[in-house]
Structure 1
Amino acid sequence: MSKFFFILLFSVILTMTLPAVYSTEFSYDLRIIPIIIAFIYGGMKPGLSLTAVMLGLTYFLNPTMFFPTLGNYIVASVILIYLHKKYHKQTNKNKVIILSVFYLLIAASRGIFLLQEGYTYQFSISLFLSFVTLITLISVIMLIETLRKQITLHRELEHIEKMNAISQLAASVAHEIRNPMTTVRGFLQILSTSKDIPETDRSFISISIEELDRAQTIINEYLSLSKPQESALEVVDFSKVINDSIQVISTYAIINNVEISKAIDEEIRMKCYKHEIQQVFINIMKNGIESMDSNGRMHVAATRQNKYVKIIIQDNGCGIPKEQLKSLGTPYHSTKEQGTGLGLTVSYEIIKRMNGSIDVHSKVGQGTTFTILLPTTD
């Protein structure tokens, strides 16, 4: 972002120091373009900073125009800050229309001023230069959007390549892992039928078998990343899936002195990968529990919002540094010393396969909030 700002800053300085002078009273430059781009693509802080620099140059180069320019750009800044919040949700076509209308309003106000003051000759020149500015603005917008799309596609390609590497690695070791797991499970089943084993130990054996089965399920999920099983989609009681996930992780939470509260809407129906989405919740909750010290608190909420269900998993743990948030879900990236990062990688892929989205907000020392949106079905 700093490079982007300095490019816009250089553009403002260049266009203001080399304006198009078409009379002794009037000159024209393209300062509005980098100002618009700064607000829309950079946000309020870069936009206001660039506007302040522009006003400083105006005061230095043309003091008589300082206060009119100040008034105009105060209004323009307020409008651009408002547009920034809605702009990025629009299609490219609508983005061009929005900014074109905004600039045309500015050009129209300038034209009305010239006509009222009797500057007919300057009006025709201003009209031509406004057209040039509009074409330039549209070209810059399309160029930026094209570059953003290329960057997104490049990141997606890198992600796909990493997932392919994981799939190949998982496939190469899955067979070797399954064999000893099957052997251990078989011996445990034999031991569980022995009459010489106390009931307490028998319960431990039962838990061990369940965990081996869970490990087998996880291995299958890793392998399914590159080969999604569409036939596994089923309509389920999603409220029960979340409650079951909380129940599974509750023992681990108790061991770590973490209290889990919940607010789950009833009778949420959804078409999903039942076991996989349960693993998503367990992965996220487990990470949250491990991020907290003693007496930690975790809150899980699920509410239906129109055609989506919103799941929030919030903890008051150590939080995640801002520079690491963008890397969440990346293979082999983990905030834990002995973590692999594959748990969240699998979780992100499962959410993506269900046409959902996952968003993470975190502050160091305050905690982390995972917000998941998934489409529902009636």
Structure 2
Amino acid sequence: MNVIDDLLLNILVLTSPILLCHILWLDRPNPFNFRRLGRPLIGLSCSIAAIFCMSHPFFTITGDDFDLRIIPVLVAFLYGGIRSGLTVSTIILAYAFYMDGSNFISIITLSALLVPFILAFIALSNWKHLTPKVMFPSLLAFISAIATFCITMLYRIGSFVAIDKPFLLYGLLFCLVHMLTMWLLTYLIVRIRENSAMRLEVQRSEKLNVLSELAASVAHEIRNPMTVARGFMQILSQSTVTEEKKLIYTSMVIEEIDRAQNIITDYLSFAKPQAEKLEELDVSSLSHKLINLINPYAAMRGVEVSIDMEPALVVKANSEKLIQCLVNLTKNGIEAMPSGGLLQVSGFRDKAKIILQIKDNGIGMTEEQVDRLGTPFYSTKNKGTGLGLMVSYRIIKTFGGLIDVTSEPDHGTCFTISLPAA
């Protein structure tokens, strides 16, 4: 049992630096430069692991210690480079001389044979570009363990020490343990690196996805004022329009173009967020502007719009963004009534809250559809993107409010906006 305990303890010490390196280095948002700090860190951790393995061999036979000191040397050469490997080898020689100077010649002989062999194996095998990557380090560890055991056996013969069956059995076990331990360490390193590379790729994909969502959202939001401006321009092209009406319609076209410009400015500010400029605003004063914006679209689809707002509904908000939100919600209500209907917009005070309700008697939604509202690219419309509602939810949240949705299939939908009263 002591042999197994010591062996498991050695394996734990060998795997701990790999896991710590993953947690403290590879898992950081901005990892250290590998050439500057990664390789010296590998050399240091492998040196500490080698000293521990030499101090705690997992079995001893007539004065010969069998430990896993070869594994840290291989890890240092394979993943830290020649300098790290030579550093670990030098520290092993120094510590071996400190522990037992009588066997120092055999340790130097072993190092003189193993180090060139390891370097030649790495240079000729090109193992990093081959698959599977865990096989070649495991094979190298097995061959190195066989070489170590053979040299130990030659020194026993030279010292007239008997070589019996238990010694050969322990030697075979020694080689197998090295191969399996190296396989475990290499597998951990390969998996950690693959996961880190996959995480970076996912982060890049998420950034590209955000860019695509942003572009689609900008296009969706600009389409609303452009549609209104186009409708007014069509009306202006008619000869029956009076001069007074032309002035009103021209003014509203300019306002819509300005609103589109403000939307572009808002979305560009996503890249560099700025503090929201809020001011005291009477929501009831926006009703006239809202009815002028949505009436042409509602009339075209056979929808009647009714607005009923109490006076003095003062909130802290941005008028352009609040209008943008109300236009999005009322437009969705109109489109939810393909056969015409009634769209009711009401506003009232409820204690310290200002409540705005937009209610239609259209096709309605299921509970599952309501739960998904406000998420990017989800829409109940065939050609919808869901981005209008996403932006509306964000605008109301910026003002410190909430949007609640109640709906029933074939019985209509009610959007309730709750804002803190100023």
Q: TM-score range by the shorter chain?
A: 0.3 to 0.5
Query: Normalised by the size of structure 2, how large is the TM-score?
Result: 0.42
Indicate the structure (1 or 2) with the bigger Cα radius of gyration. 2
TM-score of the superposed pair, with normalisation by structure 1? 0.46
